[in-house]
């Protein structure tokens, strides 16, 4: 996925803090990619991750519900409630090898920025699913 060829812009301006609901997320359009941005107000923290859930390839993580698992912040995909760590993106339900990418977030003067450097790095959410899709296409 060649999203932003020139990674000069590492901190991408997403929106204003008031645009994001407390303890919830929004979807940010970064060129032709989608990133989920969360304001976890109960923890006073901000997180960002891929908007696509690797389980069924649905663009819906930003509409997911926030929570914690033994203290670790997580988000649950609204489709099948697969949960992912917001710290490192790994799936917390089972050992299916699913994961999402997470991105650093910073807030300056009421504006929210996402560090999108990781977008340029190769990433596969699951080896099996990708291998299989190549077979059928």
Partner 1 sequence: MKVVVIGNGMVGYKFCEKLIAKSLPGLELTVFGEEMFPAYDRVHLSEYFAGKTLADLSMTEFSWYADNDVKLELGNPIVRIDRTQKKIHSFSGAETAYDYLVMATGSAPFIPAIPGIDKEGVFAYRTLEDLHLIQRHAPLSRKAIVIGGGLLGLEAAKAMLDLGITDTHVVEFAPRLMPRQLDHNASVILQQKLSALGITCHLNKNTIAVLGNESVRGIMFSDGSMLHADMLVISAGIKPRDELAKACELPVGHRGGIIVNDLMQTADPSIYAIGECALHNNMIYGLVAPGYDMADTVVAHLSGASKMFCGFDMSTKLKLIGIDVASFGDPFIGGEEAKTIVFEDSHNGIYKRINFTPDGKQLLGGILVGDASSYNMLQQVCRNQMTLPPDPMDLIIKPRQGSSMAGVDALPADALVCSCENVTKADLTDAMSAHGCETVDALKKCTKAGTGCGGCVPMVKDILLHTMKQQGRYIRNVICEHFQYSRQELFDLIRLKELKDFDAVLDTYGKGDGCEICRPVVSSLLASLWNEIVLKKENHTSQDTNDRFLANIQKGGTYSVVPRIPGGEITPDKLIVIGEVAKKYNLYTKITGGQRIDLFGAHVSDLPLMWEELIAAGFESGHAYGKALRTVKSCVGSTWCRFGLHDSVSYAIRIEERYRGLRAPHKIKSAVSGCIRECAEAQSKDFGIIATEKGWNLYVCGNGGSKPQHALLLASDLDSDTCIRYIDRFLMFYIRTADPLARTATWLNKMEGGIDYLRNVVVNDSLGICGQLEQEMQALVDSYQCEWKQVVDSPELRKRFNHFVNAPGEKDPNVQFETLRDQKKAAGW
State which residue, 78 or 104, has the beta carbon closest to partner 1.
78
Nearer to partner 1, 76 or 105 (CB): 76
20 DSSP assignment: S
Phi, psi of 129 (to 5 degrees): -60, -45
Q: Binding of partner 1 at residue 136 (CB under 8 A)?
A: yes
100 counts as binding partner 1 under rule CB under 8 A = no
Burial bucket for residue 80 (CB in 10 Å: 0-12, 13-18, 19+): exposed
Per the CB < 8 A criterion, the answer to whether 114 and 11 are in contact is yes
* 2, 6, 8, 71: residue in contact with partner 1 (rule CB under 8 A): 71
User: Residue 128 carries which DSSP code?
Assistant: H
Q: Does the footprint of partner 1 cover residue 127 (CB under 8 A)?
A: yes
Residues 28-57 that bind partner 1 (CB under 8 A): 28-29, 32, 34, 37, 40-43, 52, 56-57
């Amino acid at each position: 996925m060649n999203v932003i060829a020139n990674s000069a812009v590492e901190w991408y301006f997403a929106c204003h803090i008031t645009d994001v609901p407390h303890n919830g997320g929004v979807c940010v359009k970064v060129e032709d990619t989608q990133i989920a941005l969360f304001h976890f107000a109960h923890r006073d923290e901000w997180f960002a991750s891929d908007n696509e859930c690797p389980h069924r390839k649905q663009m819906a993580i930003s509409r997911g519900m926030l929570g914690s698992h033994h203290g670790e912040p997580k988000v649950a995909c609204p489709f099948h409630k697969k949960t992912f760590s917001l710290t490192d993106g790994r799936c917390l339900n089972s050992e299916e090898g699913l994961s999402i990418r997470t991105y650093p977030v910073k807030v300056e003067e009421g504006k929210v920025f996402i560090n999108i450097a990781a977008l340029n790095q190769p990433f596969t959410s699951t080896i099996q699913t990708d291998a299989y899709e190549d077979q059928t296409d």
